[in-house]
Amino acid sequence: MSFCLCLPLKSFRSQKAEYLKVSESKSAEKKATMTQKGENPSFVLEKQGKVSYEDRPIPEFKSPYDVLVKPRWTGICGSDVHYWVHGRIGPFVVESPMVLGHESAGIVTKIGDKVTSLKVGDEVAMEPGVPCRRCVRCKEGKYNLCADMAFAATPPYDGTLARYYSLPEDYCYKLPKGMSMEEGALIEPTAVAVHITRQAAIKPGDSVVVFGAGPVGLLCCAVAKAYGAKKIVTVDINEERVQFALKYAATTSFISQRVSAEENGANLIKDADLGLGADVIIDATGAEPCIQTAIHALRLGGTYVQGGMGKPDITFPIMTMCTKELNIKGSFRYGAGDYQTAVDLVAGGRISVKELITGKVSFDDAESAFTDVKAGKGIKILIEGPKDDAPSRGHLKRKSESLT
Ligand SMILES: [Zn+2]
Ligand SMILES: [Zn+2]
């Protein structure tokens, strides 16, 4: 895995084995205990496999355009769990304790002197990565490719699973009337799907295949549908997820077989009635057999977008790519306009995210949400922000170093 963000869960099957190993080795360890007291209770990854609660200082404004937000709901994604289990994602290594979480919506509690678009009490979806705004990539509008990005819960930057989190006003998106904060927390993975779909340039009438029916794969199906794709094929090895995808947004499904990628691709075209092949294929798994199958299932001149992250290197059908003259693209987080598009798609009812929420836990039980995601349970689990007045029921470490 080279980079990460909202990586969709890769191959559920292969991960499960890994999960079992990890849970066995960690089962003897004491569960993190929590208190709600303190200035800024935070859920912290101390080091690989070890989480705890700490009282951190309330973040200070770095600019007069910053606002202070109290995250109310935070979704847990594969990257949070990956840091917990492995202590690193590619070059990003957890070297000092880091607050987890980056998929949040919350309430504005304080605003900087120059803030004009928000007021105290506003409910906002929080875009969790702030670029430098000065480099060439930032200036050309591709700020997700900024080399100086400060992204929540990517070392060394702290995440949003705390009472307070500070970010610039233009990285907060006011929730339209009628949108709950639970839905607001789902804007982050929706923005990932919006970006992937934008990379794929989906047009009305297109046939789209999405490998992986985890949160990001499901949302890619939903965005493709909203953009007018005629046929949306969900592919997964987990029958339960496939059934969910069919109810949610996909029009047809395909279960991969243990045959060669070429044969699998041909079967996919035939079973899903894709004619000369799919117009667009999105991989939201990162699994090698999926990627290979996708290349074989595309039509001549079709488009492939890599959204999932698995092994850093794989065997790739490059001859097929060349002779089919495929457009192959990567996709990383989200860029200009993606977050707002995600808000608008949900607000306008063109995408529904409520049914993706399969569990909610209190801040005290944050670790259980990680355990469940690790075990592949449910689709999206949300953690509630710390309550203001709940009684203490554990130890709280004082932490004096400032937030980064
Ligand atoms: Zn995420
Ligand atoms: Zn930059």
Distance 206 CA to ligand 1 centre (A): 27
> How far, in Å, is the centroid of ligand 1 from the Cα of 296?
29
Q: Which ligand has an atom closest to residue 142 CA?
A: 2
* Shortest-distance ligand to the CA of residue 148: 2
Which ligand has an atom closest to residue 152 CA?
A: 1
Ligand 1 mean position, distance from CA 139 (Å) = 25
Q: Any idea which ligand is nearest the CA of 334?
A: 1
Q: For residue 347, how many other CB atoms are within 10 A of its CB? A: 16
CA of 62 to the centre of ligand 2 (A): 17
pLDDT of residue 11: 35
C-alpha 142 – ligand 2 centre gap (Å):
9
Per-residue pLDDT of the chain in tens (404 residues, 90 and over written 9): 333 344 433 333 333 333 333 343 444 345 565 545 579 999 999 999 999 999 999 999 999 999 999 999 999 988 899 999 999 988 899 999 999 999 999 999 999 999 999 999 999 999 999 999 999 999 999 999 999 999 999 999 999 999 999 999 999 999 999 999 999 999 999 999 999 999 999 999 999 999 999 999 999 999 999 999 999 999 999 999 999 999 999 999 999 889 999 999 999 999 999 999 999 999 999 999 999 999 999 999 999 999 998 888 999 999 999 999 999 999 999 999 999 999 999 999 999 999 999 999 999 999 999 999 988 888 999 999 998 754 333 444 443 333 33
- Write down the pLDDT at residue 32: 62
Please provide residue 371's backbone torsions phi and psi, each rounded to the nearest 5 degrees.
-60, -45
- Nearest residue to 7 (alpha-carbon basis) of 255, 229, 192: 192
Give the ligand with the smallest distance to the CA of 100.
Answer: 1
> Do the beta carbons of residue 333 and residue 310 sit within 8 Å?
no
**Ligand in nearest proximity to the CA of 134:** 2
- Residues in the chain, how many? 404
State residue 21's pLDDT score: 39
Report how far ligand 1's centroid is from the alpha carbon of 195 (Å): 13
Q: Which residue type occupies 282? A: I
Within 10 angstroms of residue 178's Cβ, the number of other Cβ atoms is 8
CA of 105 to the centre of ligand 1 (A): 13
Domains and CATH numbers, the chain: 31-186+354-398 (3.90.180.10), 193-330 (3.40.50.720)
